[in-house]
Amino acid sequence: MSELFAPAAVSVSELNALAKSLLEENLFGLWVAGEVSNLTRAASGHYYFSLKDSRAQVRCAMFKGTAAKLPAPLKEGDHIELSGRIGIYEARGEFQITVNEVRLKGLGQLYEAYEKLKAKLQAEGVFAAERKKPLPAHPRTIGIVTSLAAAALRDVVSTLKRRAPEIPVIIYPTAVQGSGSELQIAQAIQAAGQRNEADVLIVCRGGGSIEDLWSFNEEIVVRAIEACPIPVVSGVGHETDFTLADFVADVRAPTPTGAAELVSPNRLESLHKLAQAQGRLKTALQQRYYDASQKTDWFARQIRHPQQKLNEQRAQLHTLAQSMRFAMQNSHRFHAQRFARQQQQLAHLRPDVSGAARDVQSFQTALKQHWHNLLANRRQLLEKQAALLEAVSPQHILERGFSVVKNSRGQVIRSAAALKQGQKLHITFADGATDVRVTGETAQPDLFDYS
């Protein structure tokens, strides 16, 4: 059952093509160092060899075009560094490097120094985009830092003469290769910045080997470009050559000619744009003239004599007054008729309340009489009840010689047996009250102490 879900098999050629694609996409831009071994030069001019170190080797193929660029033929035992396309020779499934560039191993030290200084400057923010200055769109003067004997100078000047012959050029001459050339280049850049004669500065030279271009990788040159107050365009070497001057410059051009094109406006292109702008301006002005003419004609047709306009306004006012008077008359007539109809409806719908008024008056009279009778009866009943209460009032009983005896808690003493020797009592008479204390065991009058 599991065979139904097994993955489809790939062919050997598909596997090799897949492996080649993976290697070429993930291993690029590398430099590989080693010793040349098993060197073979075919009749076609292609080289086939192994590059080895103490522990491994890799097959290499260098075709005729690349071999022709070597300063000297490749020899068995040479210690070299190479760069190329890392992949697989699909026909045999062999891992190999197709060589594009070769340099002697000593150049690796230069490259190491290059990378070390580049990392240092990058960490300081020397190459940061936010510190780069924009190029002026229309420079008044262009400065060039290069050698007077350099072919790059002729290319730059001829390009500027063709594109913008009206812009003056100032040359700050310097050696561009060899011992001490980096000091001269830095001094020329510093002089251009101090004199402040140019609006933009081109630092350039033609192509060459890494040694020829090395002066533009020196820190003193990079620092001079960084400190220059004038926008700097780097046009060093060919399009594939990169120096630290390219990274620190405000703009990097692929070639000296490209640098000249970047800093100068194209005169023919500017004239063409100017002609186009002139044509658009002419068309816009012409259209505005047509619009204004039409508007003027329209206003001219609208102009009338003030008396004519006054007469029209008077006629309009008279018409409005008549319309208002007619409307007021109609409104008055309508509301008068409506008011008359509403009065008739009110008179027809008004109820007869005379009978109810008489009934209410009779009821009020009867209610008043009934109230007087009820009040007299209640007063007589109240007087009888008051006399009855007066007859049974405790005060009358006390006046006949009786008294009320209470203990200290306010309870009435009804029996002498409830008395105790030394007990305090309160006796109420008709004309007052007093406190006494029990002095004997029996309830005899002489047992009370009235002190």
pLDDT score of 2 more than 60: no
Q: E strand or H helix at 38, and its extent?
A: strand 31-41
pLDDT of residue 23: 82
Degrees, nearest 5: CA angle 142-148-154: 65
Q: Quick one: average pLDDT of 423-437?
A: 84
pLDDT category of residue 442 using cuts at 50, 70 and 90 = low
pLDDT tens for 334-379 read 999 999 888 888 878 877 777 788 888 888 898 989 999 999 899 9
Instruction: Looking at mean pLDDT, say which of 20-34, 79-93, 94-108, 133-147 comes out highest.
Output: 133-147
Tokens of 77: 């035992």
Cα 419 from Cα 447, distance rounded (Å): 11
At 234-291, the pLDDT tens digits run: 999 888 778 999 999 999 999 999 999 999 887 777 777 888 888 889 888 888 887 8
How many other CB atoms are there within 10 angstroms of residue 443's CB atom?
15
> Binning pLDDT at 50, 70 and 90, where does residue 71 land?
confident
Q: What is the DSSP string of 412-440?
A: BP--GGG--TT-EEEEEETTEEEEEEE-S
Interatomic CA distance for residues 219 and 412, integer angstroms: 126
Residue 170's contacts (CB-CB under 8 Å, 6 or more residues apart) are 141, 142, 143, 144, 192, 197, 198
d(CA 208, CA 206): 7
